[in-house]
Chain A
């Protein structure tokens, strides 16, 4: 394997007609790290990946791989590996021919091609399927072949374009672990594009949440989850209850439609702010009595989700409903909540975060 390379994008911009797909984007992936571009469709993540791959040329800005400017280099000269959403295996070639394609293009001898191919198929547990055609394999197997085909060329950077999008849920989860394990073992710099927040969180060293061609927030998965900076990030990555209001004179409380809520840190008095509370931080029932919010409500819906139960609770005296999660044993055992139950509720102050609403640009 090559020494892991750094991938750097500096002020990269790309327009399609009047639409700015990628807007002044900066991103650095440290050698051997896996960074996800996470966002809804149309946020510019795929365009960014395609510019790194060389299928699109930025209007301005620089892309460097291992310190070398590749902004205008042809895709086949960049030394990358890529796994496509639909795998893009060559349907007219066998598994062996698909995997050995890279070395063959590089002019490797027949023997070297075969050796490398066998090693790769071994790694993805597909030995014995050399002579099968992609259409004879299951989705998961095709995905492994695609991975082997991308990794056989010892790429400087691995690009994963929604690599698990076509798999069913249980397979997707096991493949997430498998790819992550392989990526860490091979220490291969990787850019993952996904719209699946769970995939991004379980696979990445860092997540870049994108919207409108920009990176809204970049950080480790737990940082982004625990300390979202914007309401978009708070709701896109996991669920969130958002409370909009005006900061009180003391700078420590937020006047909202549901009453005065304590803030986790001081804010400028008199400004608009949004408080974000994760559903699993919301406490329902008697234990909430000691919490500072002093809210109460009525259970509107409850749904059992295996390891936890989700409730929607209508807050007394308002139109607002909030979402709360509870561990399943608490939900099923004593103190389980039924629809219509009146409950006190609240959250520990440190379980809430002040976020920006990009719509207003205010805190």
Chain B
């Protein structure tokens, strides 16, 4: 049989993938599926959408969804604004130091997010390092400031975690921008600033888009930072945690998880579209 060889090759490839696929199926897909199913199951075991209709018509829960999305959007905007100049310097100015730059960017990701968040707690606790500087060492303030449980600190910590993702997305696209295009604009009388807004920025929109979606997705599902640093936010992940651990309303928690998952899937779809357009 002439095509037995490619069939065997395919089979072998499938076998190589099998361990990973089985692992993902058992520990990722099945629980996720089981969890989602629970949200569609009525008390008597039948199918129902009643949880979704009541959830999505409840002002409180809608407010939570809006707050989750707004928080993620704010973190995204701040992250991208901070990331762009960093990416620009990394690609255009760092030269031989770019390797060091990238290491500095990625190094924080090697530490678990819980450790990094604890770091923020240590720094900004009532008797933490920052207050000690301000009150004791520098004497700027008479009484320590309350940082923990303020929205600003929570947002700052999220941005801190997520900026590298935005930087790397933007940098990879910026790397591919032909500098002759910028020189062309300069030759035609555009100032450097004008050149940036007419040429560089539009050509890096894909990188901004990819980075923004990535940051948004992660911020949307962020949990640890908000639990540890507070900030008074009432977001979906926090609510899900409460439902599972305090209220023990598993079905409602599953409903919210599925909604959160849906938001993430929409983002993922947008990102795939963006990437496919780049490739075309």
Contact = CB atoms under 8 A, between A and B. Distances in A.
Given A53-B183, A75-B186, A101-B185, A92 B191 contact: no
Interface string A85-114: 010111110000000011001100000000
Interface stretch (A76-84, A124-132, A239-247): A76-84
B194 interface: yes
Contacts of B192: 76
B187 A75 contact: yes
B203 A102 contact: no
Most chain A C-beta atoms within 10 Å of own C-beta, residue among B185, B186, B202: B186
A76 B180 contact: no
Contact of B188 (A74, A86, A92, A102): A102
Nearest to B202: A92
Given A82-B184, A86-B180, A88-B181, A102 B199 contact: no
6 contacts: A54-B186, A76-B186, A76-B190, A88-B184, A90-B199, A159-B187
Interface string A183-222: 0000000000000000000000000000000000000000
Given A84-B180, A86-B178, A90-B181, A76 B203 contact: no
A105 B189 contact: yes
Interface of B: 178, 180-181, 183-192, 194, 198-199, 202-203
A304 interface: no
Interface of A: 53-55, 74-76, 80-82, 84, 86, 88-92, 101-102, 105-106, 149-150, 153, 159
A80 B187 contact: yes
Most chain A C-beta atoms within 10 Å of own C-beta, residue among B183, B184, B188, B203: B188
B187 A81 contact: yes
A285 B225 CA distance: 92
A88 B191 CA distance: 17
A88 B203 contact: no
B194 A105 contact: yes
B83 to A, nearest CB: 21
Contacts of A55: 183, 186
Contacts of A86: 178, 180
A151 to B, nearest CB: 11
B189 A153 contact: yes
A75 B183 contact: yes
A193 to B, nearest CB: 14
Contacts of B185: 90, 101, 105
A106 B194 CA distance: 12
Contact of A105 (B178, B190, B202): B190
Most chain B C-beta atoms within 10 Å of own C-beta, residue among A80, A81, A105, A159: A105
B164 to A, nearest CB: 27
B203 to A, nearest CB: 6
Given A90-B185, A106-B189, 20 more contacts: A53-B183, A53-B187, A55-B183, A75-B187, A76-B187, A76-B189, A76-B190, A76-B191, A80-B187, A82-B183, A88-B178, A88-B180, A90-B181, A92-B203, A101-B190, A105-B185, A105-B188, A105-B189, A149-B188, A159-B187
Contacts of A149: 184, 188
- Top 9 closest pairs, chain A to chain B, by CB: A88-B184, A102-B188, A105-B189, A88-B180, A75-B186, A82-B187, A105-B190, A76-B186, A92-B202
B277 to A, nearest CB: 12
A86 B177 CA distance: 13
A86 B179 CA distance: 11
Contacts of B198: 90, 101
Most chain A C-beta atoms within 10 Å of own C-beta, residue among B181, B194, B203: B181
Contacts of A105: 185, 188-190, 194
A153 B185 CA distance: 12
Nearest to B189: A105
